[in-house]
Amino acid sequence: MESSSKKLLMIFPSTLRGGVEQYNLTVSGGAVKHGWDVHAAFPNVDGTASLVQDFLESGVTYHPLAIAEDRNWLPGIARHVPRFFRTLRLLITLKPDVVQITLPAPEYCFASILACGLLKIPTVVRFGLVLPLEIPVNQWRVKLYNWVRTRQQRWVVISQNNRRLLSNLFQIPESELTCIYNGAKSDASQTLSTTQQQTCRQQILDELKLPDTAKLLITVGRLNFQKGHCDLIPAIPHIIRDFPDVRFIWVGDGDLRETLENQLNEYQVTDNVFLLGYRSDVSRLLQASDLFVFPTHFEGGQSFAIAEAMASGLPIITSDASGIPEVILHQLHGLVFRTGDSCDLLESMRWALKHPDDMRTMAHQAYERAQDFTEEKMIQNYIEVWQHLYQGSRQVPQKIFPLLNTDRA
């Protein structure tokens, strides 16, 4: 067990729940179990109310921090000033030993990164989504980022694809970026016996008022453009015609919900698609399903949804977006289709439904592959990074923080 005297602060700008938020909750809970005094700071809004409660139940202290990337009338750098001082005030008050800032995209949390750099607090900056066509970063911002990286910061990416893109975007050598893949619980597929799995499936079927013969194709992800639900909708009428027992389950919520509901209505498949919204029992829904369908347009690396499906032993159909092909090899761990190609997605689902034995074999191989990407390994990797930064800070004279926190020495 790590000493409980080490204080970790997790900062992220989320206003809704999704994979990034689950990641922060998972890593924070793991740190608590390893003896760290963990604090989390993110916006206190309606979309994060349940997240706040889950953090508290995990033994994490919550601090409201208004750093959402909302649009306002302030020009340029001035937009970051309020968020900078809010973060600075929290850091001075809390005096964390290590900070981790989780970015859903590279342009987020600029002010918080600068605040940590100014105080020279050991900081991990974890980058999620990086797109191939990101607008080049202004040179003044590149210089600021290069400066803060020299002030006891470690930048972490979540795939090799992510590493290459971020290296080009910020003009950073790839060797200076640490890669830590996302992970899921390694024993997820063993939590239920065969009898328990059947019971779980029956409960889900009863909840949705579906017959025992129904085949459940589940998609997990926030309802926005990124996750590719719009590519799945045109394929649904063809699948239902060829496989009348198929039903689609969508887990997640988001700003595109009404638009997607209208599209489902236009294609006359509303009765065949169940939008369940946010669910705390995703692993249970995966256990009850027959196929995992993931039509995402882009990811930061290996999606948590993919990792959990692999660990659950559920057959997978996924796009070839971003770093996914680093983890899922076509026809070995699942079926991989061309991103944004509804026809290719349709043919992949048809093939999967016609070849259940082959899909089960791939699912088993994906489960074996998932042992390289476990939640336990992910958490241990982060703890090693935090510990390294913490120990390094003990050996480096502090020029700013001692003025604010004389008990750090």
Report yes or no: 121 and 95 within 8 Å, Cβ to Cβ. Answer: no
Q: Do 304 and 23 touch, CB atoms closer than 8 A?
A: yes
DSSP code of 324? G
**Structural contact between residues 52 and 18, judged by C-beta atoms closer than 8 angstroms:** no
R_g of the chain computed on alpha carbons: 22
Confidence category of residue 343, pLDDT binned at 50, 70, 90: very high
Q: Is the pLDDT of residue 401 over 90?
A: no
Q: Which of 123, 167, 175 is nearest to 149 (CA)?
A: 123
The DSSP symbol for 188 reads G
Exposure of 16 in the CB half-sphere (CA atoms within 13 A): 14
Positive or negative CA dihedral for 177, 24, 277, 67?
Answer: negative
13 neighbors 87 (Cβ within 8 angstroms): no
pLDDT of residue 300: 64
Does residue 4 register a pLDDT over 80? no
Name residues whose C-beta falls within 8 Å of residue 322's C-beta, 6 or more positions apart in sequence: 159, 161, 162, 296, 298, 299, 300, 301
The owner of tokens 């302030």 is 74
Give the architecture (CATH level 2) of 7-183+374-404. 3-Layer(aba) Sandwich (3.40)
DSSP code for 78: G
Rounded Cα distance, 285 and 335, in Å = 21
Which pair of structure tokens corresponds to residue 128? Answer: 């999620």
Spatial distance between the Cα atoms of 185 and 379, rounded to a whole number of angstroms? 11
CATH of 188-370, one of 3.40.47.10, 3.40.50.300, 3.40.1280.10, 3.40.50.2000: 3.40.50.2000
User: What rounded mean pLDDT belongs to the chain?
Assistant: 89
Equal CATH topology for 7-183+374-404 and 188-370:
yes
pTM of the model: 0.77
Predicted pLDDT at 301: 64
Domain limits of the chain?
A: 7-183+374-404, 188-370
Please tell me the distance from the alpha carbon of residue 388 to that of residue 168, in angstroms, as a whole number: 26
Strands 153-157 and 61-64: what pairing?
unpaired
* Burial class (CB within 10 angstroms; exposed 0-12, middle 13-18, buried 19+) of 66: middle
The predicted-structure confidence for 114-157, as pLDDT tens digits, reads as follows 999 999 999 999 998 777 666 667 888 888 898 999 999 999 99
pLDDT digits (tens, 9 = 90+) for 307-342: 899 989 999 999 998 889 989 999 999 999 999 999
Task: At 268, list the tokens.
Answer: 């006359």
Model confidence pLDDT, tens digit, residues 210-261: 999 999 999 999 899 989 999 999 999 999 999 999 999 999 999 999 999 9
